[in-house]
Structure 1
Amino acid sequence: MSGRAAQPVAKGPAAPARPVGPPGGRPPVGGGGPFRQLGMPAEKAVSFGPSARRLLARLAPERSRVVAVLVFAVASVALAVVGPRILGRATDLVFAGAVGSRLPAGTSTAEVVAQQRAAGHDDLAAMLERMDVVPGRGVDTSALARVLLLALAVYAAASVLGWAQGHVLNGVVQRTVYRLREDVEAQLNRLPLPYFDRRPRGELLSRVTNDIDNVAQSLQQTMSQLVTSLLTVVGVLAMMVVVSPLLALVALVAVPVSMVATVRIAKRSQPLFVRQWAATGALNGHVEEAFTGHDVVRVFGRQQEVLAVFEERNDELFRAGAGAQFVSGLIMPVMVFVGNLGYVAVAVVGGLRVASGAMSLGDVQAFIQYSRQFTQPLAQVASMANLLQSGVASAERVFELLDAEPQRPDPVQPQRPTAARGRVAFEHVSFRYEAERPLVEDLSFVAEPGHTVAIVGPTGAGKTTLVNLLMRFYELDGGRITLDGVDVAAMRRDELRSRIGMVLQDTWLFGGTIRDNIAFGRPGASEAEIRAAAEATFVDRFVRALPEGYDTVLDDEGGGVSAGERQLLTIARAFLAEPSLLVLDEATSSVDTRTEVLLQRAMAALRADRTSFVIAHRLSTIRDADLILVMESGRIVERGGHDELLAAGGAYARLHARQFAGAGGDPGAATAAPPGGGRAGPGG
């Protein structure tokens, strides 16, 4: 696998920029296993205003379409607002026809009004005076038909414009979320390895998937309804004032009551939504960890402990989610109740106004519609408060990821070696995970081209740390590392890592065919080159036995092939990459003895003319290494060849004696093989 290393994923709470670790050079690991407790993100009140403004600012590339959405919304709302007034005219025509048919024909409206006043019916006279009534004539059906057709056309046009608004807005939201996902993906590739060392993988996945999906849903629903609702409130309020300032004043009394109730409820629901999404991330982290390590869980019989942690996290999510939904769910009933009170007040006052002749029945009917149209968008805005709070809470979690400090940028004018010889020099290198606790101090050595350098030592001695520093997964505190005379810090990371092939103890395969997994080592490799790499690493012999051969599809866990066969595939991938520098980390730990002998020969061919670093636990596999470095507590305590170090009787000899005590000698004395042990995690 050229230029890539499996990133160690540690579980735990957020950490400072510089990793903090225990003695021995291994940074802290918060999760440790499928049944360990996961640290939840620190809870804090969401900064609603700044986060909401930042979310809206991401709509900037869609300015023209946002303007189109506003234009469509204004036109649609304007037509919808005019509709009740037109229907009010139709009501007046029907009412006038019903009243006119009851009046004596042959008289004028003025005469009927005068007769009613003379009889002392002043209110009835005032009402008839405001109506367009013709005594003795019923409903004017032709006029009524024209008004109804006009209302139909207005409402149809409003619907078409509303559909156009929703269509354009959907594109705006989806493209905005598309760019947000791209930014998150790019940020994940920019973040340094220590960032991932401290955070549960499931919690990060929750931010990338659940939170972004929630942002998309919130934007889609709130923007569509929010714009329309606010414009409707403005338009309806204007029409209400035009129809009757008195009734408008009565209707507006309910507004401050509704707003106060909404604000008070929203403030209580806001922190609950923060808890809800934090609990979602924690639960996802636990589930992902438990399923990834389900074999370990079962082997150690810890199903009950895992289930207990799941129930605890699930219960926390239930409490947070139920509390958030319950509190925010109070908004709509409160708004409806206050709106109904206003509706009753408008109906009573409007009826009195019609009876007194101050208003026509059509105007009251239109005003009642307006009062409904006025309270309905307010209720919609209030009901969207929970969506808005939830969406902004998710957006803030995504922004926290986007705001995380990225790794040091590549140099503007990068350097690159003129010749790919593979000479590596550590020059007075210093590094520490914890500022006050030294790990690697003033370390120097040279790996000559084509040589094999084996790194041995107890667990936590810092073996893999050297490789991580060479790969620039971590930055040095002092000194420098050169590759073919060029400081690796002056090279682009992709350029540096493209020259390095890694074969790790932990295999990594992606969902795809066997051919694709091998070709991952060198994009663009031909079929012949892929098969040649497979044959050299003994992959071809088991692939040919599969029904689909190289077209066999694997899942991301390598299902369908054994652990040893997965290891063979990663070795074939590195073989195909043809790197100038090779890093081997217990590369044959998952294969059987016979296959290991064959792989050792393949590795010997793979290492030919390449500089190789072998992180070794089994000393029998590195006896033919050109240089053996013995590390303890981040320092090189011995260096030399196998026989030389045994004769010295120092740390290497003690390791050798402990490893082969009672084994009747060195079982690997007759076998020369490259790979060694250790994990690719920090600290080695």
Structure 2
Amino acid sequence: MLKRIFSYMKQYKKYAFLALFCIAVEAVLELMVPMIMADLIDTGVATGDERYIYQKGFQMVLCAAAALVLGIGSARFAALAGQGLGANLREAEYEKLQSYSFANIDHFRVSSIVTRLTSDVTNIQNAVSTGMRPFGRSPVMLIFATGVAFSINSTLALVFFVALPVLAVLLICIIVNVRPLYSKMQFAIDRMNRTIQENLTAVRVVKAYVRGDYEIAKFEEANLNLKKESEKAFGIAVLNMPAMQFVMYATILSLLLFGGYLIHEGRLGIGELTGFLSYVLLILNSLMMMSNVFLMMTRSLASGARILEVIDEKIDLTDENAKDISVERGEIEFDHVWFKYKEEAKEYVLSDVSFHIKAGQTVGIIGQTGAAKTTLVQLIPRLYDTVRGTVKVDGVDVKNYPMQHLRDAIAMVLQKNTLFSGTMLDNLKWGDENASMTEIEEACRIACVDEFIDRLQDGYQTEMGQGGVNVSGGQKQRLCIARAILKKPKVLILDDSTSAVDTATESRIREGLAEKLPDMTKIIIAQRISSVRHADQIIILDGGRVSGIGTHESLLASNRIYQEIYESQKEGADL
């Protein structure tokens, strides 16, 4: 896993190697200081040689100054490597998300994806930025200091053979217990983010139903759960420091005890013991740093596994059967289509659906709530794939079109209208970023956007706000229709996208589409019969099956479901 994660460092690897080089040389320079100091004491101080003392002192200052410069360089290079790795991981995740189908997105909660793009990546980049220094210093200091310690006095150095196994056992116990807790902590962050996201997205509903107290209680529950999981994880992780200090001070006391005895016996000099203790502290500090690296790596592994789940998600919609073709006319055919969202689902959402739409026709799709009208049209641009049967555009299976070309030729105004932060012009240009103002104004006339745009203070430069909060529901629907028209598609799908528009405006939009875009195939999903009664043909869906196909007059004469819908809406109008 670590190999795959670090493969995303790419162009920042040079900074990682430079950081490790600076860290290694800095560690060697620091390790030379105690050797020089021991020599200064045992030779210079013991003999009273001032010239020798100044010489060794100057060497210590040079080593310290060089180590300082290298330390600054290593910190900078490590930061560049860590932040670069984090940026590449986020980019890889986000690029993969853009290739997800709706089914892939359904595998993850949105809040979880956000956490994996932010918190989990931050854990890894911080582990690199702050962990590279101890990771580079520890092995150098440990090997070098241990070698020097044995060269000073091999008898005293035997104390390490007791201290190291004790420390290793304590560290392994901590890591084994803390690793699963880090995963639980990240899932707790997911849950808290989900609570916040839901509350902010539905803030108007919360205010309307006066459910602020309920939302606060729900957040407190998620927040306390995160607090509890964090306390468990960090409560075990912080045991690393007491364990290290226990071993460190026990080792120092043992060395002072045996060292004093050896000095008393005349087998060890005071300068040697001083230098030996300096190296002991370096060894123990290097072990402490190494244990911290292991803890950071443990948390990074938990985050890395979550990131790789997003990157490794198998895309169920691919271009493996695609040919170099594009949509020319917009003719659509469903040939015995069956569909369900999950393979393990017992019932099909769509069952044996067959119909044919000629290029340039206007077709209405109507049916009761839950009849799978939206699901049906989502199969045309391959937002989902059929389980059985074939969806054809211009007589070609949609799986044989490159998805980009297919979706460029089909414009959908979804049931849930979405506008992005930015100006109205920015939103309209989502349909065609190179569209001229003449084309934009024409699209706005067809969608009846021109009826209200003049009333806005800044016109096309009006800021939409997040989600288009500065316009009404009906205005938002008309803007989305204009955006789709600017795409100049061969097929235009309106998924109940005039539900918030009055019937007079809806009629003008319908007439504008028929008059200005006669060659475009238009599919209109609606709840109101008035929205589709002028269509060339109307498809009745009932429980995921086609109940009838025909014109308004033929269906009114022969189809029971259409008659019931018509009568209920007629009664409502009469009232």
TM-score range for the pair, normalised by the shorter chain length: over 0.9
Alignment correspondent of 1:295: 204
SS in 1 for 2:334: strand
Alignment correspondent of 1:284: 193
- The AA in structure 1 aligned to 2:334 is F
Distance 2:553 2:486 in 1: 33
Alignment correspondent of 2:361: 451
Contact kept, 8 Å, 2:145 with 2:279, in 1: the verdict is yes
- The AA in structure 2 aligned to 1:531 is E
Alignment correspondent of 1:74: 24
- The AA in structure 1 aligned to 2:125 is A
Quote how far apart the aligned CAs of 1:540 are.
Answer: 4.0
- The AA in structure 2 aligned to 1:537 is A
Distance 2:477 2:232 in 1: 49
SS in 1 for 2:87: helix
Quote how far apart the aligned CAs of 1:372 are.
Answer: 0.9
SS in 1 for 2:289: helix
Distance 1:332 1:605 in 2: 77
**Partner deviation per Cα, 1:523-573 (whole Å, 9 max, x = no partner):** 222233223333443334533443433223333311333333222221221
- The AA in structure 2 aligned to 1:339 is M
Q: Which has the larger displacement, 575-584 or 478-487?
A: 478-487
Q: Which has the larger displacement, 510-519 or 175-184?
A: 175-184
Quote how far apart the aligned CAs of 1:339 are.
Answer: 0.3
Alignment correspondent of 1:211: 120
Query: Is 1:341 matched with 2:250?
Result: yes
Contact kept, 8 Å, 1:181 with 1:212, in 2: the verdict is yes
Query: Is 1:427 matched with 2:335?
Result: yes
Contact kept, 8 Å, 2:29 with 2:64, in 1: the verdict is yes
Quote how far apart the aligned CAs of 1:607 are.
Answer: 4.7
Larger helix proportion of the pair: 2
**Partner deviation per Cα, 1:313-347 (whole Å, 9 max, x = no partner):** 21211110011111111111121121011112222
Contact kept, 8 Å, 1:505 with 1:589, in 2: the verdict is no
Distance 1:199 1:510 in 2: 23
Alignment correspondent of 1:663: 573
Distance 1:140 1:587 in 2: 94
Cα distance change, pair 235–554 in 1 and its aligned pair in 2 (3 A): farther
Alignment correspondent of 1:245: 154
Alignment correspondent of 1:124: none
SS in 1 for 2:355: strand
Contact kept, 8 Å, 1:582 with 1:613, in 2: the verdict is yes
Query: Is 1:83 matched with 2:33?
Result: yes
Higher RCO structure (Cα 8 Å, ≥6 apart): 1
Contact kept, 8 Å, 1:81 with 1:239, in 2: the verdict is no
Cα distance change, pair 422–87 in 1 and its aligned pair in 2 (3 A): same
* Equivalent residues in 2 for 1:591-602, closer than 5 Å: 591-592=501-502, 595-602=505-512
Quote how far apart the aligned CAs of 1:458 are.
Answer: 1.2
Distance 1:414 1:357 in 2: 89
- The AA in structure 2 aligned to 1:279 is A
Match of 1:383 among 292, 302, 310: 292
Alignment correspondent of 1:150: 59
Contact kept, 8 Å, 1:77 with 1:231, in 2: the verdict is yes
| Structure 1: segments with no counterpart, 5+ residues | 1-50, 97-132, 134-138, 666-684
SS in 2 for 1:253: helix
* Equivalent residues in 2 for 1:311-460, closer than 5 Å: 311-411=220-320, 414-417=323-326, 420-435=328-343, 436-460=346-370
Contact kept, 8 Å, 1:269 with 1:328, in 2: the verdict is yes
Match of 1:482 among 381, 392, 401: 392
Q: Which has the larger displacement, 450-459 or 554-563?
A: 554-563
Contact kept, 8 Å, 2:78 with 2:130, in 1: the verdict is no
Give 1 or 2 for the bigger CA radius of gyration.
1
Query: Is 1:462 matched with 2:412?
Result: no
Match of 1:185 among 94, 110, 115: 94
Quote how far apart the aligned CAs of 1:660 are.
Answer: 2.1
Contact kept, 8 Å, 2:20 with 2:132, in 1: the verdict is no
SS in 1 for 2:330: coil
Cα distance change, pair 72–304 in 1 and its aligned pair in 2 (3 A): same
Alignment correspondent of 2:525: 615
Quote how far apart the aligned CAs of 1:65 are.
Answer: 4.6
Quote how far apart the aligned CAs of 1:224 are.
Answer: 2.6
- The AA in structure 2 aligned to 1:77 is A
- The AA in structure 1 aligned to 2:289 is Q
**Partner deviation per Cα, 1:478-523 (whole Å, 9 max, x = no partner):** 2212212222110111110101111223221112221111011012
**Partner deviation per Cα, 1:154-189 (whole Å, 9 max, x = no partner):** 122222223333332322222222221221112112
**Partner deviation per Cα, 1:392-430 (whole Å, 9 max, x = no partner):** 11111111111211123203652424x622111112222
Cα distance change, pair 509–319 in 1 and its aligned pair in 2 (3 A): same
Contact kept, 8 Å, 1:630 with 1:638, in 2: the verdict is yes
Instruction: Provide the TM-score with structure 1 as the length reference.
Output: 0.79
| Structure 2: segments with no counterpart, 5+ residues | none
Distance 1:381 1:659 in 2: 74
Contact kept, 8 Å, 1:219 with 1:391, in 2: the verdict is no
Distance 1:71 1:301 in 2: 61
Alignment correspondent of 2:214: 305
Contact kept, 8 Å, 1:279 with 1:313, in 2: the verdict is yes
Cα distance change, pair 592–218 in 1 and its aligned pair in 2 (3 A): farther
**Partner deviation per Cα, 1:452-491 (whole Å, 9 max, x = no partner):** 1111111121211111111211111222122122221101
- The AA in structure 1 aligned to 2:199 is A
- The AA in structure 2 aligned to 1:492 is P
SS in 1 for 2:158: helix
Distance 2:526 2:504 in 1: 20
SS in 1 for 2:379: helix
Quote how far apart the aligned CAs of 1:644 are.
Answer: 1.1
Quote how far apart the aligned CAs of 1:354 are.
Answer: 3.1
Cα distance change, pair 412–224 in 1 and its aligned pair in 2 (3 A): farther
SS in 1 for 2:178: helix
Q: What is the percent sequence identity of the aligned residues?
A: 30
Cα distance change, pair 541–660 in 1 and its aligned pair in 2 (3 A): closer
> How many residue pairs end up in the alignment?
573
Alignment correspondent of 2:138: 229
- The AA in structure 1 aligned to 2:358 is E
Cα distance change, pair 416–57 in 1 and its aligned pair in 2 (3 A): closer
**Partner deviation per Cα, 1:228-252 (whole Å, 9 max, x = no partner):** 1222111211111121112221244
CA RMSD of aligned residues (A): 2.2
Quote how far apart the aligned CAs of 1:93 are.
Answer: 4.4
Distance 1:429 1:308 in 2: 46
Distance 1:370 1:606 in 2: 86
SS in 2 for 1:159: helix
SS in 1 for 2:351: strand
Match of 1:499 among 409, 418, 423: 409
Contact kept, 8 Å, 1:421 with 1:580, in 2: the verdict is yes
Distance 2:265 2:450 in 1: 98
- The AA in structure 2 aligned to 1:90 is L
Quote how far apart the aligned CAs of 1:198 are.
Answer: 4.7
SS in 2 for 1:154: helix
Query: Is 1:525 matched with 2:475?
Result: no
- The AA in structure 1 aligned to 2:366 is V
Query: Is 1:565 matched with 2:488?
Result: no
Contact kept, 8 Å, 2:412 with 2:492, in 1: the verdict is yes
SS in 1 for 2:574: coil
SS in 1 for 2:519: coil
Match of 2:5 among 55, 64, 67: 55
Distance 1:503 1:63 in 2: 45
Alignment correspondent of 2:462: 552
Alignment correspondent of 1:10: none
SS in 1 for 2:573: coil
- The AA in structure 1 aligned to 2:37 is L
- The AA in structure 2 aligned to 1:271 is P
SS in 1 for 2:494: strand
- The AA in structure 2 aligned to 1:394 is S
